[in-house]
Amino acid sequence: MYDPINDSVLEAWVAALGKGQSLGRTDYLRLLSLSDRDQLAWVMGQARAVADREFGRGVYIRGLIEISNHCKNGCYYCGIRNANVCVERYRLSEEDIMDCCRQGYELGFRTFVLQGGEDPFQDDDWLCEVIAMIKEKYPDCALTLSVGERSEQAYERFRQAGADRYLLRHETANAVHYSMLHPESMSFENRMRCLRTLKALGFQTGAGMMVGSPGQTLECLVDDLLFLEALEPQMIGMGPFIPAPNTPFANEPAGSVPLTLLLLSVLRLRFPRVLLPATTALSTLDPQGQEKGLMAGANVIMPNLSPLTVRRKYALYADKKYLGNEAAEQIGSLDEKLERIGFHISYERGDFKP
Ligand code: 5AD
């Protein structure tokens, strides 16, 4: 497919990325098609060295609270898409959410992430109240929202209410690919506009994509890299695609773990300070996903802090993990696991440092 790559060429690419330079389309394509085991291991080692330099061996933790699995959208890949009648729907109340935060705070979490489908019943007013309540009770904590596309006014109000960060994966930066993943009612332009707005409003903003989503080519992933270079997000959420039952993509193959790891390393090299989680999707596909993600350059883990009764219902994809090292109440054993590979949990807020 692609020619083998000289070690000296590879070294020059890693050096260029380290200076904040883009490799451009052609060389990114060649880098992403790297398949030599030793070279892949070397790139990951270089990425880990950058993460060590920027963050040491501390891993930031974020308590993930899945506030609703109702969603008005019909994304073809997503297990909680509107048309999936097999989902037992739920939405958390303000009290439920405050309970999660209290438990999370006691466990040592200093970032809470409110994530949900685009649920019209959890409207802007309601969310502003919840944000204000959390920030009043836990002024030392960072609050991250991940509740999809909303109006500019809504984002502004969330910011004023005290939200610090916002995750909105762009999913794919290729407009044609975007239309293969989403129904016509959803717009690529609007998603891009939302991301620019969030950044302009001063949110620490997270974008990101799935690796191996149906129809994705390496060229699409290069589009993602070039898009991320233009956006300069503070956080990048990226994990493998995993088919979800009862969705149009139920029978599609999952994304590749090695390619996900290579991309994590490329992101770490190009964006040394970016907040980069080892995602639940990665651990779902590979029992060693957390360790491998960290060793490739990730520096964040997002344990699940949702009430145990709803966790299985927030099924974005098949067999999504929510126990063991993905469970907030088990951070003790997570820390032990991290210690065994030379990492430890950092209990700091873990804001982006410009
Ligand atoms: N496989 C992997 N990731 C998925 N997401 C949604 N569905 C899937 C799936 N089937 C991701 C999307 C979304 C995030 C919350 O979860 O990227 O932005």
Instruction: Flag whether 276 is in a domain.
Output: yes
In a domain, 352, yes or no: no
Q: Strands 142-146 and 111-116: what pairing?
A: parallel
Is residue 239 assigned to a domain?
Answer: yes
- Spacing, Cα 62 to ligand 1 middle (Å): 18
CB within 8 Å of 232: residues ≥ 6 apart: 199, 271
Pocket perturbation via mutation, ligand 1, pick of 247, 285, 316 by most ligand atoms within 8 A of CB: 316
- Is 122 within 8 Å of 113 (Cβ atoms)? no
Task: Give the separation between CA 261 and CA 18, rounded to whole angstroms.
Answer: 18
The answer to the question of residue 244 being in a domain is: yes
* 76 CB near ligand 1 (under 6 Å): no
Q: Residue 209's CB: how many other CB atoms inside 10 A?
A: 27
- Which residues sit opposite 114 in a β-bridge? 65, 145
For the domain that residue 214 is a member of, what is the CATH number? 3.20.20.70
- CA of 254 from ligand 1 middle (Å) equals 12
Does residue 281's CB lie within 6 angstroms of at least one atom of ligand 1?
yes
In a domain, 351, yes or no: no
Give distance in angstroms: CA of 8 to centre of ligand 1: 37
Distance CA 11, CA 212 (A): 27
What is the number of the ligand 1 atom nearest to the C-alpha of 242?
1
Type of residue at 352: F
CA–CA dist 201, 193 (Å, integer):
12
Q: Which ligand 1 atom minimizes the distance to the CA of 316?
A: 7
CB 143 within 8 A of CB 135: yes
Q: How far is the CA of 237 from the centre of ligand 1 (A)?
A: 10
**How high is the pLDDT of residue 296?**
98
- 187 part of a folded domain: yes
CA of 87 to the centre of ligand 1 (A): 16
Give the tokens for residue 242: 């995993």
Which structural domain, as residue segments, surrounds residue 195? 7-346
Is residue 87 lining ligand 1, measured as CB closer than 6 Å? no
Q: 222 alpha carbon to ligand 1 midpoint, in Å?
A: 19
Q: Is 333 left (phi over 0), alpha (psi -120 to 50) or beta?
A: alpha
pLDDT at 346: 98
Asked if residue 167 has its Cβ within 6 Å of ligand 1, the reply is no
Cβ-Cβ contacts under 8 Å for 336 (sequence gap 6 or more): none
pLDDT of residue 3: 77
Q: What is the C-alpha end-to-end distance of the chain, expressed in Å?
A: 39
Of all atoms in ligand 1, which is nearest to the CA of residue 317?
A: 10
Is 354 inside a domain boundary?
no
pLDDT at 1: 59
Task: Tell me if 243 is assigned to some domain.
Answer: yes
Can you give the pLDDT of all 354 residues of the chain as single tens digits?
Answer: 567 999 999 999 999 999 999 999 999 999 999 999 999 999 999 999 999 999 999 999 999 999 999 999 999 999 999 999 999 999 999 999 999 999 999 999 999 999 999 999 999 999 999 999 999 999 999 999 999 999 999 999 999 999 999 999 999 999 999 999 999 999 999 999 999 999 999 999 999 999 999 999 999 999 999 999 999 999 999 999 999 999 999 999 999 999 999 999 999 999 999 999 999 999 999 999 999 999 999 999 999 999 999 999 999 999 999 999 999 999 999 999 999 999 999 999 999 999
DSSP H helices, the chain, are 7-18, 24-32, 37-55, 94-107, 124-137, 152-161, 175-181, 188-200, 218-231, 257-270, 280-285, 289-296, 308-311, 331-340
- Sign of the Cα torsion 36, 42, 45, 50 reads negative
Atom 13 in ligand 1: which residue has the minimum CA distance?
169
Q: Give this prediction's pTM.
A: 0.98
Residue 163's pLDDT is 98
Number of folded domains in the chain?
Answer: 1
